[in-house]
């Protein structure tokens, strides 16, 4: 007698998102996810760096944590202390820096440490979908703060905090992407960074500062991190190497007070971030960061210009957008009443994928449905031109706009 197959769907935890389908590979016109440009991966530099690291440290791979303890590779943390001081104005010790498997793991660990069901967190109205989704999965209520072309509006932040305080609610944190904001591309001016910190201190609500795109500034003087202004431990700061080097390296970092780092360690149950990649990256960055990052910025700047010109050519004044001064994403606003989710399947059939805006807002019931996010890091300049032309054809055919 045959045994009946087990139906796992009856065992799944409640509240799970819909199951993912089989991976279909990369689309020809891939306008999603923070991919990099394959031609800019410093393969030869990585080979040289990892060879030296393994020759010197290879035998240490036999022991957990032998490259710097549970906080991760010591050489990489030492490099980060110098880099954060020089480029972001942040002055910390190696014991206040923890290496993680990408900035998304940083978000998960901080949420695991801070959030409980029923908590409230504040974010920009439009924000990173991974952060929004994980906060909601943790049982938190996410409240979006209105934005303009300078990022989160601090007067609105103070208003919302005051209203919540009157209701007896104290949010767990204010999540912000102040530099090369995802998805809008905006940058929080220094005056607003100072004001946000003042508000944080006044209400006793920490700032969760995500600067995973901060290396990708195009040109000019750039504001230091909010964490650089803070001498009262009100700012938790995270960053990433995924955008400046390669997503596949899967390395991010948390900057936090040592007592907070120690608590986060207890939630990091993977017995430490892999040791080989940090060995390679630490050696490479020490000698090559400045030259490499300028090459990446120049490439992204050119691609951004191509994307802007193509959108203007094919959509004209129908689509509004803020032109970013850095990063690898742009945020496009279609007329009210347009639902950018509707043409997505038709776009996929043409080999094109983009992010519908409703996936990138704290309040999808009321905002975001008429926006799309386009990542321009992976496509070539020609693919950007062709892809935008396809996008225009699809939207015209599906929506008549």
Structure tokens at 118: 């029923």
**Residues 353, 32: contact at Cβ < 8 Å?**
yes
Quick one: which H or E segment has residue 298?
helix 276-315
Number of neighbouring beta carbons within 10 Å of residue 365: 8
- Identify the pLDDT of residue 68: 83
Residues 6 or more apart whose CB falls under 8 angstroms from that of 59 comprise none
CATH dotted code for 22-42+291-399: 3.90.1150.10
Mode of pairing for the β-strands spanning 329-333 and 141-145: unpaired
Residue 238 CA to residue 98 CA, distance in Å, equals: 9
- Identify the pLDDT of residue 1: 58
Angle 43-45-46 (CA atoms, 0-180°, nearest 5)? 65
Mode of pairing for the β-strands spanning 252-255 and 320-321: unpaired
Kindly list the domain boundaries of the chain, sorted by start residue.
22-42+291-399, 44-288
Residue 362 region by backbone torsions, left for phi larger than 0, else alpha for psi between -120 and 50, else beta: alpha
The CATH class for the domain spanning 44-288 reads alpha beta
Residue 216 CA to residue 327 CA, distance in Å, equals: 5
CA distances from 277 to 199, 243, 274 (A): 39, 15, 7
Q: Do 22-42+291-399 and 44-288 share a fold?
A: no
Q: Phi then psi for 397, rounded to 5 degrees?
A: -70, -35
Torsion 187-182-285-376 (CA) sign: negative
With H, G, I as helix, E, B as strand and everything else as coil, classify residue 35: coil
- Identify the pLDDT of residue 63: 82
**Residues 206, 200: contact at Cβ < 8 Å?**
yes
CA distances from 190 to 33, 86, 147, 376 (A): 28, 17, 16, 27
**Residues 177, 127: contact at Cβ < 8 Å?**
yes
DSSP state of 231: S
Residues 6 or more apart whose CB falls under 8 angstroms from that of 187 comprise 150, 151, 178, 179, 180, 181, 222, 223, 324, 325, 326
- Identify the pLDDT of residue 308: 97
Number of neighbouring beta carbons within 10 Å of residue 366: 10
Question: Of 129, 219, 144, 235, which Cα lies nearest the Cα of 182?
Answer: 129
pTM of the model: 0.94
- Identify the pLDDT of residue 389: 97
List, as one string, the DSSP characters of 63-122: STTTTTGGG--HHHHHHHHHHIIIII-----GGGEEEESSHHHHHHHHHHHH--TT-EEE
Residues 6 or more apart whose CB falls under 8 angstroms from that of 259 comprise none
- Over the range 38-69, which residues count as b (16 or more CB within 10 Å of their CB) and which as e? eebebeebbebbbeebeeebeeeeeeeeebbe
Structure tokens at 272: 């430490």
**Residues 354, 28: contact at Cβ < 8 Å?**
no
Q: Over the stretch 315-374, which tens digit does the pLDDT of each residue have? A: 999 999 999 999 999 999 999 999 999 999 999 999 999 999 999 999 999 999 999 999
**Residues 354, 31: contact at Cβ < 8 Å?**
yes
Structure tokens at 294: 């300028």
- Identify the pLDDT of residue 352: 96
- Identify the pLDDT of residue 270: 79
Ordered per-residue pLDDT tens for the chain, 401 residues: 567 888 998 899 887 778 888 887 889 999 998 888 899 999 999 899 989 988 888 888 888 887 888 999 999 999 999 999 999 999 999 999 999 998 999 999 999 999 999 999 999 999 999 999 999 999 999 999 999 999 999 999 999 999 999 999 999 999 999 999 999 999 999 999 999 999 999 999 999 999 999 999 998 678 899 999 999 999 999 999 988 888 888 899 999 999 999 999 988 877 777 888 888 898 888 888 889 999 999 999 999 999 999 999 999 999 999 999 999 999 999 999 999 999 999 999 999 999 999 999 999 999 999 999 999 999 999 999 999 999 999 998 867 65
- Identify the pLDDT of residue 398: 67
Residue 234 CA to residue 205 CA, distance in Å, equals: 7
């Amino acid at each position: 007698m045959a045994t009946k197959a087990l139906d796992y769907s009856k065992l799944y935890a409640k509240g799970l998102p819909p199951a993912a389908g089989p991976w279909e590979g990369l689309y020809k016109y891939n306008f999603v996810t923070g991919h990099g440009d394959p031609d800019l991966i410093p393969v030869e530099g990585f080979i040289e760096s990892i060879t030296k690291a393994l020759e010197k440290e290879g035998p240490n791979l036999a022991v957990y944590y032998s490259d710097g303890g549970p906080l991760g590779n010591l050489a990489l943390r030492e490099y980060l202390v110098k880099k954060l001081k020089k480029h972001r104005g942040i002055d910390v010790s190696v014991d206040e820096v923890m290496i993680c498997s990408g900035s998304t793991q940083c978000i998960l660990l901080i949420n695991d440490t801070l959030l409980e069901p029923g908590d409230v967190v504040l974010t920009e109205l439009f924000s990173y979908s991974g952060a929004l989704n994980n906060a909601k999965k943790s049982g938190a209520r996410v409240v979006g703060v209105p934005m303009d072309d300078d990022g989160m509006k601090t007067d609105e932040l103070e208003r919302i905090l005051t209203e919540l305080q009157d209701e007896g609610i104290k949010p767990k944190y204010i999540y912000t992407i102040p530099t090369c904001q995802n998805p809008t591309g905006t940058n929080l001016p220094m005056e607003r960074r100072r004001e946000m910190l003042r508000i944080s201190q006044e209400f006793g609500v920490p700032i969760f500062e995500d600067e995973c795109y901060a290396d990708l500034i195009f040109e000019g003087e750039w504001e230091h991190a909010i964490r650089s202004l803070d001498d009262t431990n009100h700012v938790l700061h995270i960053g990433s190497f995924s955008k400046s080097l390669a997503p596949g390296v899967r390395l991010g970092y948390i900057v936090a007070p040592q007592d907070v780092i120690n608590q986060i360690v207890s939630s990091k149950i993977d017995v430490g971030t892999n040791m080989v990649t940090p060995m390679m990256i630490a050696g490479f960055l020490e000698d090559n960061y400045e030259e490499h990052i300028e090459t990446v910025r120049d490439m992204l700047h050119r691609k951004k210009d191509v994307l802007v010109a193509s959108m203007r050519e094919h959509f004209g004044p129908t689509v509004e957008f803020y032109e970013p001064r850095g990063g690898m994403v742009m945020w496009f606003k279609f007329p009210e009443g347009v639902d950018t989710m509707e043409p997505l399947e038709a776009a996929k059939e043409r080999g094109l994928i983009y992010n519908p805006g409703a996936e990138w807002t704290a309040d999808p019931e009321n905002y975001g449905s008429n926006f799309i996010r386009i990542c321009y890091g992976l496509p070539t300049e020609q693919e950007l031109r062709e892809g935008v032309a396809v996008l225009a054809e699809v939207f015209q055919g599906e929506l008549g706009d």
